[in-house]
Amino acid sequence: MLEVRAVCEEELAAVALCIARAFRSDPDDIRGMVEYFHNSLSGDTIPRLENTRVAVLDGRVVSVVLIHDRQMLVRGVPVRLGFPPLVGTDPDHQGHGYGALLLWDSAEYMRREGYHVSLISTETERFYERGGWSNFGHYHKLTLRIPEAIPAATALAGEVRPANLRGDLDPILAIFSRNNRDASGPAVRTRRFWEEFAANWAFDYPIYHVAAVGRRIVAYLRNGYGRRLVEFGVLPGAEEAGFSLILHACREAPGSGGGGS
């Protein structure tokens, strides 16, 4: 029997394994992915079982769509966004239509719940198009090669240090809000979001750094595993401090020769 519905509490471990097996084949990678999934459930969204949609075949979870419930700014106005960061079908069950069924169920769920929009950036456009999403073709990704010799930060650039997401939260929030108040696309970040993010995500290196001039924080940067500049904010007039944050991230990047890992 096939059921397409919200997950039950006791199925969460099976859901994590299904997602992990969809994305990874090496057992160590699968374990890491299971951990990532648990972080994702508890750290980056408002955890609700209804937001995790599953296809269950004869009692076994075979396909999963996780929906993050967020507010997104459109020209500064918040709209409700359903963001599906993880969609996966167990490799033993791919190609049988479970993924497509779940996408339909997820779209229906979001309509029912009053979401305004659902966005995803993906390289599997055809799959999402089958589920009813449209391709806007507006996504840009920039890949930069780190130069052999990374220029030194200027003397004016201020001090770069790892952020303390509790103590430094007010200035980081202020920079984020100021930078994005008229923008379209960024998620609305409540204080609670940052506090839960800070409390629940465990990384073995500091992902946020700040630049301070005197005691004042004027820029921040979020680093994605030393390989991506995920997020960057700087106050007007403090661009040099922002620049030194970027140089710092380049120096720390794996393979840059700067000692990063």
Would you tell me which residues interact with ligand COA (CB under 6 A)? 22-23, 63, 87-89, 94-100, 122, 124, 126-127, 130
CB of 184 to ligand COA, least distance (A): 23
Contact between 21 and 38 (Cβ < 8 Å): no
CA-nearest of 172, 22, 145 to 92 is: 22
202: exposed, middle or buried (Cβ count in 10 Å: 0-12, 13-18, 19+): exposed
Q: Which two tokens stand for residue 200?
A: 């629940």
Non-local (6+) Cβ contacts of 169 within 8 A are 191, 194, 195, 198
The smaller minimum CB distance to ligand COA, of residues 87 and 163, is found at 87
The smaller minimum CB distance to ligand COA, of residues 45 and 244, is found at 45
CB of 85 to ligand COA, least distance (A): 7
The smaller minimum CB distance to ligand COA, of residues 63 and 244, is found at 63
The smaller minimum CB distance to ligand COA, of residues 80 and 96, is found at 96
The smaller minimum CB distance to ligand COA, of residues 64 and 218, is found at 64
Strand pairing partners for 108?
none
Cβ-closest position to ligand COA: 99
SS3 per-residue string spanning 48-85:
CHHHEEEEEECCEEEEEEEEEEEEEEECCEEEEEEEEE
CB of 62 to ligand COA, least distance (A): 8
CB of 20 to ligand COA, least distance (A): 10
CB of 90 to ligand COA, least distance (A): 8
